[in-house]
Amino acid sequence: MRTLPPKTRTPGKRTRRDTQRLTMTDVAAAAGVSASTVSLFLRRPDAVSPELAARVRTVIDELGYVPNLVAGSLAAARSRTIGVILPSIVNSFYAETYNTLQSTFQAAHYQTLLGVSEFDPEREQDLIGAFLAWSPTAMVVTGFHHTDKARAMLRASRVPVVEMWDMPSHEGEAVDMSVGFSHFEVGRRQTGHLYDEGHRKVAYIGAAVHQDLRVRQRTDGYEDEVRRRGLHEPIAFTAPDTASTMVGCWLIDEVLSVHPDIDGVVCSNDNLALGVLFEAKRRGIRVPEELAVIGFGDLTFSNSCLPPLTTVRPPQRDIGRLTASQILLRLDGGTVKSLQHHLECELVVRESTGMAAVP
């Protein structure tokens, strides 16, 4: 895989969850200090001796303890809010999932608290800590790429947690529940479709690949399918820039300058694919006759651009519905039969890869 510099810049399986929250007393016992020392450390760290402060801080980090900011008699109660952390609200498929979550929770008289991490694990960690401090009744996060501290906080919260939009890669990776699909299989399916349509030299372009590990997984799926077919070596050009039409134009220009004989391109995002269509039009390259194009996302323009774009449609609404139903079932005292849910994406075939390419 060739990564280009930016154009302008650059535990074990769980079957149930205890609903009792960690307290200062738990932290104090683990650190071998009094609860009043922990309380003082949380309010005025400089008022505690360096030795005790270090012990308390270590235990807090290891246990994932988050102070409860709900005061007085409400401190032992849960709010009727559910924290949701998305990597972005620019991508409309995340927005569709959030809208579904919000409407489903609202119908059950819960409110959502939204945070955006911008694909930054440290920012996500800060958001998780801030949300948990207000005693949400459940948490929804995106994917499995968390800091160790964020993972510890989620586990220690003892509230229902769903990691969505991805699948755990091994037993025990999920904090609690998960709802998602295989991005690796998406990359394989995109690539396999172009080969099945008769194309013989297929490239890949991707953006934000170092920030969004799901893009990296789709790239891996492309490379795996290329090697499985054995027609050529993988041709993958990626950039750290956010996926956009302009970046798509730039990336396909770079690919064609090195591999002018490609006859297909897999795009990590429909925005990139739209850029490919624009650049192909500018160069006089006929789509799909000379260059087939496939994207991911099925964004609002994908069916109306020229030619209409073949893409893979993620189950964004299904992810929202199933995530919400799993949490609500747990909150109602029910038993979740399956902690991990694997959903399928839909291949939507349109004219950019040959379907209905009429003379």
Which CATH number covers residue 31?
1.10.260.40
Instruction: Report pLDDT digits (tens) over 98-123.
Output: 999 999 999 999 999 999 999 999 99
Q: Which of 207-216, 222-231, 325-334 has the lowest mean pLDDT?
A: 207-216
Three-state secondary structure call for residue 242: coil
Is 306 part of any domain? yes
Residue 6 confidence (pLDDT): 60
Per-residue pLDDT at 41: 86
Q: Give 330's pLDDT tier (boundaries 50, 70, 90).
A: very high
Residue 1 maps to a domain: no
Q: What percent helix, strand, coil does the chain show, rounded to 5?
A: 45, 15, 40
Query: Are 84 and 176 found together in one domain?
Result: yes
Top-confidence residue, 40 or 231: 231
Q: How far is CA 72 from CA 69, 76, 77, 300, 350, in A?
A: 9, 9, 10, 48, 59
Residues 188 and 235 in one domain: yes
Residue-wise pLDDT tens digits, 29-48 = 998 998 888 888 887 787 88
At residue 76, the pLDDT reads 46
Is position 99 within any domain? yes
Domain identity same for 214 and 300: yes
Q: Which helix (H) or strand (E) holds 310?
A: strand 310-313
More confident residue, 42 or 222: 222
Closest by CA position to 25, among listed 70, 76, 74, 81: 76
Question: Which residues, in sequence order, are CB contacts of 92 under 8 Å at separation 6+?
Answer: 297, 299, 300
Please state, in angstroms and rounded to a whole number, the distance separating the CA atoms of residues 166 and 111: 24
Residues 139 and 170 in one domain: yes
Both 279 and 319 in a single domain? no
Task: Tell whether 146 and 195 lie within a shared domain.
Answer: no
Look at residue 20 in the predicted model and tell me its pLDDT. 58
- The neighbour count for residue 2, using CB atoms within 10 Å, is 12
Tell me, yes or no, whether 177 and 322 share the same domain. Answer: yes
User: Does residue 352 lie in a domain region?
Assistant: no
Cα separations in angstroms, 14 against 199, 277, 328, 338:
46, 47, 18, 11
Q: Is residue 102 included in any domain, yes or no?
A: yes
Same domain, 81 and 154: yes
* Enclosing H/E stretch for 60: helix 50-63
Predicted confidence (pLDDT) per residue in 280-329, tens digit: 999 999 999 999 999 999 999 999 999 999 999 999 999 999 999 999 99
**Are 233 and 301 within one domain?**
yes
pLDDT of residue 12: 38
Question: What is the per-residue pLDDT across 163-221, written as a single tens digit (0 to 9) for each?
Answer: 999 999 898 899 999 999 999 999 999 999 999 999 999 999 999 877 788 999 999 99
**Whole-angstrom distance, CA of residue 166 vs CA of residue 214:** 8
224 and 122 within one domain: no
Tell me the two tokens of residue 255.
């690919």
pLDDT of residue 74 exceeding 70, the answer is no
In a domain, residue 251? The reply is yes
In a domain, 326, yes or no: yes
Q: State the Cα–Cα distance between residues 151 and 47, nearest whole angstrom.
A: 29
- Residue numbers of the domain that contains 50: 20-65
Number of domains, the chain: 3
Q: What is the pLDDT of residue 229?
A: 97
Residue type, 123: R
- The answer to whether residue 2 is domain-embedded is no
Rounded to whole angstroms, the Cα distance separating 305 from 308 reads 5
260 Cβ contact partners less than 8 Å away, ≥ 6 residues apart:
none
